[in-house]
Amino acid sequence: MDGTAGANTLTVDSAAGELATPPPQSLWRRVLASGGVSYLFILPAVAIYVAVILAPILMGAGYAFTDWDGLRQIVNYNGLANFRRMIGDQQVRSAISTTLIIAFSLVVVKVVLGLVLALVVNSNVKSRNWLRLVFFMPVVLTPIIVSYMWKYIFSNNGTLNTLLKMVGLEPLRWLGDPTLALISVIIVTSWQSVGLSMVIFLAGLQAVPPELEEAATIDGANPLQRIWHVTLPLLAPAMTVCVVIALIQGLRFFDQIYALTRGGPGYATETLSTMIYRISFQFGEFSYGAAVAMVFSLIVGVIVLPVMQVLRRREIAHG
């Protein structure tokens, strides 16, 4: 666009010369022109996108309106039956609220702890490089493997209960009690991913100009005031990234629950992800699973997109 537009204005400006008539371009040419490199460059990506992302998602949306079980050749259209069934389905409702509880707890924990850790490892403590490594390391570890490790720690004769007994407290059923199981799952996931928020905030902190903080100190701000009024507003972009990543992760997560509780006790830790997996692949109700997945997509979209909008607006206001 830039190139052609520039060339055109140039010819108009120097229109005095009759030789400068622009080369005839057909409408097709202009519509099809990429303005840069050959379309062949993007062809493989488009092919993969259509085959692996777009087509399956559209098909999935289509199956939601049928009674298909994933095996039979016959597929019957049955309108909104799957969605009607969902409204009366107590398990779906419980899975939705569990998913939301986990997602929002993760956002809060990751943002608050991640920010505190980032401030610590960005200060002039001597061990800051070691601390960064320690807090970040779990981020790269395989979630399912880490979860099995925590399963031992949470088990009835596991580490946590041993420690509780040592200080004279009653052992708890970490994975057996519905509320505690939910908390345990959140602990494991936070442990694994707080380092990610930390490094994102750290990158934001390192971009804060030191003059601004010094100016605030000279003006008599105490450290807390300085962080609250100067540093935090400048961290708005990092905040957006952290919140969105934590939300998406919280809404989608699967491995930790698979390893720790399998959705139990009862259905206390069943999330939409584990539920879709169970319905579609273990019960073979493909179309009902697709309908749940569709509602799930809507929930994710309805939550994530506005959050992104609000946070971005804050960035601009401060930027």
Partner 1 sequence: MAKGRYTAGTFAVEVAATVAAICFIFPVYLLVTIALKERSTWSRNPMSPPFNPYFGNFKQAWHEAYLGDALISSIVVVTLSLVILVTVGAFAAYFLARCKPRLGYTLYVFCLLAMVLPFQLGLLPLYQMMRDLGLLGTPFSLVIFYCGYQLPFTVFLYTGYIRALPRAYDEAAKIDGATDMQTFLHVIFPMIRPVTGTVIILNCVFVWNDFMTPLLYLQGSRWATVPVAVAAFVDQEITDWGIVFAALVIGIAPVMALFAVLQRHMMEGFAGGLKA
In the complex, least distance from residue 76 CB atom to partner 1, rounded to whole angstroms: 17
In the complex, least distance from residue 105 CB atom to partner 1, rounded to whole angstroms: 19
In the complex, least distance from residue 13 CB atom to partner 1, rounded to whole angstroms: 21
Q: Toward partner 1, which CB reaches closer, 104 or 254?
A: 254
Q: Toward partner 1, which CB reaches closer, 111 or 146?
A: 146
Q: Toward partner 1, which CB reaches closer, 1 or 19?
A: 1
In the complex, least distance from residue 319 CB atom to partner 1, rounded to whole angstroms: 15
In the complex, least distance from residue 198 CB atom to partner 1, rounded to whole angstroms: 9
Q: Toward partner 1, which CB reaches closer, 53 or 169?
A: 53
In the complex, least distance from residue 16 CB atom to partner 1, rounded to whole angstroms: 27
Q: Toward partner 1, which CB reaches closer, 180 or 245?
A: 245
Q: Toward partner 1, which CB reaches closer, 20 or 52?
A: 52
**Helix/strand/coil (H/E/C) assignment for every residue in the chain:** CHHHHHHHHHHHHCCCCHHHCCCCCCHHHHHHCCCCCCHHHCHHHHHHHHHHHHHHHHHHHHHCCECCCCCCCCCCECCCHHHHHHHHCHHHHHHHHHHHHHHHHHHHHHHHHHHHHHHHHHCCCCCHHHHHHHHHHHHHCCHHHHHHHHHHHHCCCCHHHHHHHHCCCCCCCCCCCHHHHHHHHHHHHHHHHHHHHHHHHHHHHHCCCHHHHHHHHHCCCCHHHHHHHHHHHHCHHHHHHHHHHHHHHHHHCCHHHHHHCCCCCCCCCCCHHHHHHHHHHHCCCHHHHHHHHHHHHHHHHHHHHHHHHHHHHHHHHHC
